[in-house]
Each structure stands twice: as structure tokens, then as C-alpha cells.
Amino acid sequence: MPTAICGHSSAVIKEIDSLISKDIEVADEALPQNNMRVENKVKIINKVVTKNKIVYTGIDNTNVLIANFNKCAGATTITLCLAEYISKELGILTSIIEPPIDKPTIFHWMGIKDRLFEASGNNSNGFYSYPHEIFNNNPIKSNMEYSFDNKTFLVPDYQKEPITEWNYDQMIKLINASNLCPINLIDVGSNIEHEAVAGLLPSIDVILVIVDPFITNCVRDNSRLEHILELKNNGYPIHFVVNKWNKAVDDKAFKNYLTCKPLARIPAIDLNLLYRSNFNANIPNSNNDIAEIINGPLNNISSIFINREFFKIDSGKDNNISASDKFSNILKKLKFLRKG
């Protein structure tokens, strides 16, 4: 090798060695003295993947499946009320998903047709029905969620042709169609044994089974109870929620019937209040009188999949804080960022 090149290489090597030595010295100076231990603190933040998505710290994306144990136990009512509680009281964006296994309910319950009509002046056809798009094998458009009051609705449009078949692959596409909200509440009604739902259960974070304690209806569905308990014993995250709870129900006897303690008991709601909310296309606990009755149990339910730092703490001096200040404190705890 020529001498000039060798000399040049030697100089370069010395310069590199010098730079490395300086880096090592800086690193040594940064080390803690007296053998102090340094623990790395990692904060996990959900990445923004959608425009205008709120990013929450301390909360994981969660799928909560809500199913009836017996017919008309109230899965849809509890789904909507839980969404109202999480979105209003905790300030967390919540997605309500209704697969088209039965006749669609939520679109009509929430008066979405009339809401669209009022919002647009005279056009009620602006609703993007994710289930219909998936059923028809159409490419899913992004940012088409219909949202209001901190909730989004991925539900079938009952004005369209009924969806006659629904399978597991379509169910997966529906749940993953939007990533706008960290909490997905999936209302499957009385279809926990449907093939599209059964295949989904292993990937669900929380399964809420809603029970109407009218004992005749419970006994009629004993075989379903055996199936659900078998799933629970096999490690599925199943929790019983007793709806329409009232003083006539024997607490101990009913717990023995379920063979486990329910996660929560939702008190029976005055039918006058319930029917009025439904007639006005409102979620029941958007009414303060109903909220006072059922928000406590809804708190217990949501606390199993939402970090406690998101909840109100009304103790000591906090009892003297105004409602607006309490809400402000909650927002501070959320630590959310908006990308626009």
C-alpha cells in the first residue's frame, strides 16, 4: 500500500479514536455518582393514526362485548348507558358497535335519521353504514364515523336493505373499521352463541353478560348458563351484570344460581323515565334522575378496564369543589392531546 495513503488512514483512525474517547468521557460524566441506581420510566402513549384523534395516556385500546343471557335482558340499554357514562363522566371517546346479526336497533333508538336531517337541513342520507359497506365488500373509507356527544356509532342503517348473513371475517372487519376511539362497546344482543360472535370471544378484553333476574326466564335458558359458565371456567373474561335489580330478588339465592358474584347490579329504572328517554331518542342516563340511580354500578363496571386515574374522587376537600372544577380536574388527569 502507498505510504501517502497509509499516513492518511492513520490520521483518520486517530481522529475517530479521539471522537469515541470524548463520547465515552461524556457518558461517564452522565453516570450517577456514588453507584446510584437509575430506573427508566416509560410512559406508553397511543400513537395518532387518524386525523383529529385524541391521544390518551394510561389507557389501552379495549374491546368490550356485551351480550344478553336471557331475551331482552337489556344488552343494548347497558351498552348505550355505559357509553354515556364513559364519554360524559370520564371524558373518553367511546365507540358503539352493533353487528347486523338481528334487526338493527341503535340507529333508530338514537334518532340518527332525524339528527342527520336537522344537521344538514334536509338530507338524512349522510350516514355511512359500516356494516353494509362490509357486507357488500366495498373498500372502507376512512374518517366516516358518525359521532356526537363524544361517542361514535358503527351501526347498521335500518333504512337500508337488511343484511341477511354475517360471519366472523365480517365481524373482525367491523371492529377494526375505525380506530378513532380507545374503547369499543360491542352490542351482540342475544347472539353470544352466533358463529360470528363465538369466534370473536378469544380476542375480546371484557365480556359482559347481562342477566334479567326474572327467574322463570333464567331457568328457561339454563343450557345457555352452562355454556357461559364453561367459557368462564376456561379463562374467558366473563362478568355477569344483573339488570333490572329490585328488592323482590333474593340476593343470596340469585348469586347461588349464577354460581358467582355479579360484577354489578343495575337497579330497575322507572318505566316512565325509561320510556320517555326512548321516545325522545336519548340514552337513559343522559337524564340526571336515571344517572343518579345507575351511574354507580356503571362506575364499577368500567373500572375493570379503565385506569382509576380517570375517575372522580369525591372525598375530603374534594366535596367542596364545584362541578365545573371537578370536570376541569378530570380533563387534566386525561392529559390528552389533539392533532389537527
CATH number where 77 lies: 3.40.50.300
Q: Which residues contact 31 (CB under 8 A, 6 or more apart)?
A: none
Q: Is residue 147 part of a domain?
A: yes
- Looking at the domain assignment, is residue 312 inside a domain? no
Q: Is residue 105 part of a domain?
A: yes
Strands 151-154 and 94-97: parallel
179 contact partners, CB below 8 Å, separation of at least 6: 49, 50, 53, 61
Tell me which residue range forms the domain holding 113: 60-306
CA proximity to 207, closest of 320, 62, 87, 317: 62
User: Has residue 28 been placed in a domain?
Assistant: no
Please check whether residue 283 lies inside any domain of the structure: yes
Longest dimension (CA), the chain: 102
Q: How far apart are CA 43 and CA 89, in angstroms?
A: 24
Residue 134 maps to a domain? yes
Residue 187, in any domain of the structure: yes
Q: Tell me the three cell numbers of residue 250.
A: 333474593
40-to-34, 43, 45, 234, 246 alpha-carbon distances in Å: 18, 10, 16, 37, 51
pLDDT at 270: 94
Q: How many domains does the chain have?
A: 1
Contact 131, 174 (CB under 8 A): yes
Query: Is residue 326 a part of any domain in this protein?
Result: no
pLDDT digits 0-9 by tens, 266-305: 999 999 999 999 999 999 999 999 999 999 999 999 999 9
Residuewise pLDDT in 10s, the chain (340 residues): 444 444 444 554 455 455 444 443 433 443 344 443 333 333 333 333 334 556 566 678 999 999 999 989 999 999 999 999 999 999 999 999 999 998 889 999 999 999 988 877 655 567 999 999 999 999 999 999 999 999 999 999 999 999 999 999 999 999 999 989 999 999 999 999 999 999 999 999 999 999 999 999 999 989 999 999 999 999 999 999 999 999 999 999 999 999 999 999 999 999 999 999 999 999 999 999 999 999 999 999 999 999 888 886 543 334 344 444 444 444 444 443 333 3
What are the helix (H) ranges across the chain?
3-30, 75-84, 106-109, 112-120, 130-135, 168-175, 195-198, 215-220, 222-233, 251-258, 271-279, 288-302, 323-334
Per-residue pLDDT reduced to its tens digit, 152-162:
999 999 999 99
